[in-house]
Structures are given as C-alpha cells and as structure tokens.
C-alpha cells in the first residue's frame, strides 16, 4: 500500500517542524513548504536526508504547486508573534487570506483533506471565560493585532465556505499559547522573552501589572491534538490548548525559580489590545478527539529551558528581532 502524502505549510517554523517530525514518524511522505520569512531551515535540517521528506521553498500567498498525489494538507504558514505582525502586517494578512485560498484550491484539485491552523486570537480580548468554540469573540479589526486576528477569522470563514459549497473535507483547529524547543528566542512572545532575559542575566520584563493570564500548552501535546483532529470526522472549529491558567507575573516568578536567576522583575506599559485573559475550554477536544494535555508546565518548561540553554552564545545574545526587509515589496 502506498504511503499517505502530506503537505505542511510553514514546515520550517516552530509548530510546522514538529509536525514534520510527527508525520515522518507515522510513516507519511512529508512535503514541508516555507518561504522562510519567520521559519528556519535549522528546524528541519535533520530531516533532509530522510527518503520520505522533501522541502519546497515557496510563498503560498503567491502560488502553490505540488506535483503528484496529495492526501492531506496542514496550513500552518503564518507569522505568529505580535512583533511579526506589527513589522509585516500585509504579509500576515496575505498568508491567512490569499494563502488559504490557494491551499483550499489545491485541496479541491487533489481531493485532499485540509486542516487549517486558526488561533485563540479569533476570540480577541475575550469577554467570556474560559473560551468555548461557540463564542464569537471581541476583536478590534483596525487595532495593531487586527491583521493577525482578522486574517485567521477570514481563514476560518473561507475554509467553512469551501466545506459547505464544494463539499471539501476541512478541519479547523484553534491553537492556544504553545511552547517548546525551536521557538524563536527573540520573537517577542512572553515565554522565550522571559527565558532569554534570564539566561542573559537581564531583568524580566512584565507588561502592565502582570495580572493578565495565559494558558501554556507543550508542543508535543498540541501536535497530538492536531494529529487526532486531522483523522477525525469533525469539521467545526476545535480548541486545542492547556486550560492550566497562570498570570504573567506568576509565570515570571516560575521562570526566575527555574533558571535560578537573581534578576528583578520590572514592569512596562501594556501594549494595545493585549488580551487580559486566555484560557481554552477543551470539552470538545476531550469528547470528540479523546484528547487532553499530558505534559505539565514544570516538565515542559524544563525541556524548553534546556533547549534555549544549549543555543550558541551569538544566538542567545542576538536581541534583534528578525529582519524582514527582503520580504517587504
């Protein structure tokens, strides 16, 4: 029997590279596609010699061509940190809209099942807590984060339209805060920011009073949820995340304890539209997918800390966010 063939967009990114690993392990033929705007070949170079792995350097917002049969598509191409979408807002909008349209068209042509990566950001700064899939959200479409939130909301709408109009097999996952090895150290998100500051001997920066909450899911748990959702027969959105909620201030204190740093926690003003609460209701994932997170935060943080600690000094001390000049046309 021939192996199943899967296309993973954003395959050189944090989540995409872990998905490449999982599907190779499960015996699939994997095509990783990435334009490397935020992805990094270092995340997948260990797979280059694998006979079932191939890499395509392509921008899905422009055109997608995959010769041969295709059974599944995972659309995970998108900038995903607030600094990214402030620096490359139009590219963020394009990959969620034009990129999604191109991949839905490819799925239709190939008769492939497609799973799109949506986000807890579709709930905006939520007024319902914890967030259930039926909640419509509280999003500012013209705020600085709107380019990401609305690209993902549009992506969900277009995916559902292809399902209802064309009968395409689609899956939608709403991903909550995820962490683990291969996160970009200087991408501006709270977990790598704290660990990077601790390793460099800098004070830890908390925005606002630190009372805003997040719920962190370890990457292996998330990948398991994606794997189960793709193979399920459920086409409506499903939250995947860890409901273990913590304030940012408590989280900073956990990082100080983990790293044994002597640095202080300092405060800066809260960014515009920063969500005050973020916690998934995972009842659907538990019922439909028989999924729930297994890795506790202490265990996951230790693995992630060890990964960051192993990075070369020049990477650790490179505080500059990625330069996007060559991608801005």
CB atoms within 10 A of CB 154: 15
Alpha-carbon torsion (39, 43, 47, 48), positive or negative: positive
DSSP state of 118: E
Long-range CB contacts (< 8 A, 24+ apart) of 47-56? 47/20, 47/21, 50/24, 52/3, 52/24, 52/27, 52/28, 53/20, 53/24, 53/29, 54/30, 55/11, 55/12, 55/31, 56/31, 56/32
The secondary structure of 290-307, three-state, reads CCCCCCCHHHHHHHHHHH
- The C-alpha angle with vertex 30 and arms to 27 and 35, in degrees rounded to 5, equals 160
Cα–Cα dist 61/73, whole Å: 15
The alpha-helical segments, DSSP class H, found in the chain are 14-25, 82-87, 89-110, 146-166, 190-200, 219-230, 248-259, 283-288, 297-309, 313-316
Q: Which of 72, 123, 148, 162 is catalytic?
A: 148
Structure tokens at 303: 């693995």
Q: Is 148 marked active-site?
A: yes
Nearest to 63 by CA among 111, 95, 16, 37: 95
Q: By CB neighbour count within 10 A (0-12 exposed, 13-18 middle, 19+ buried), where does 169 fall?
A: middle
CB-based contact 48:71 (threshold 8 Å): no
First-to-last C-alpha distance (Å) of the chain: 45
Nearest to 71 by CA among 102, 28, 33: 28
- Give the residue numbers annotated as catalytic, written as ranges: 148
């Amino acid at each position: 029997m021939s192996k199943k063939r899967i296309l993973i967009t954003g395959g050189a990114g944090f989540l995409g590279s872990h998905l490449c690993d999982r599907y190779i392990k499960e015996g699939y033929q994997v095509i990783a596609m990435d334009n490397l705007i935020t992805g990094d070949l270092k995340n997948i170079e260990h797979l280059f010699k694998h006979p079932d792995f191939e890499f395509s350097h392509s921008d899905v917002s422009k055109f997608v061509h995959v010769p041969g049969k295709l059974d599944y598509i995972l659309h995970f191409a998108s900038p995903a940190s607030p600094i990214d979408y402030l620096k490359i807002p139009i590219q963020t909008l394009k990959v969620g809209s034009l990129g999604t349209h191109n991949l839905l068209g490819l799925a239709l042509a190939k008769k492939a099942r497609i799973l799109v990566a949506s986000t807890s950001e579709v709930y905006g700064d939520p007024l319902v807590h914890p967030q259930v899939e039926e909640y419509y959200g509280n999003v500012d479409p013209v705020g600085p984060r709107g380019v990401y939130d609305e690209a993902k909301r549009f992506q969900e709408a277009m995916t559902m339209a292809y399902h209802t109009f064309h009968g395409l097999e689609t899956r939608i996952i709403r991903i909550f805060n995820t962490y683990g090895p291969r996160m970009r150290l200087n991408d501006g998100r709270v977990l790598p920011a704290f660990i990077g500051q601790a390793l460099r001997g800098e004070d830890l920066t908390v925005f606002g009073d630190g009372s805003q909450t997040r719920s962190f899911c370890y990457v292996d748990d998330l990948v398991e949820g994606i794997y189960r959702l793709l193979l399920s027969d459920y086409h409506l959105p499903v939250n995947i995340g860890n409901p273990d909620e913590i304030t940012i201030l408590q989280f900073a204190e956990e990082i100080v304890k983990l790293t044994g740093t002597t640095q202080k926690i300092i405060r800066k003003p809260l960014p515009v539209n920063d969500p005050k609460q973020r916690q998934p209701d995972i009842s659907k994932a538990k019922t439909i997918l028989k999924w729930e997170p297994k890795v506790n935060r202490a265990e996951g943080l230790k693995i992630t800390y060890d990964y960051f600690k192993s990075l070369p000094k020049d990477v650790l001390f490179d505080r500059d966010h990625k330069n996007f000049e060559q991608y801005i046309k």
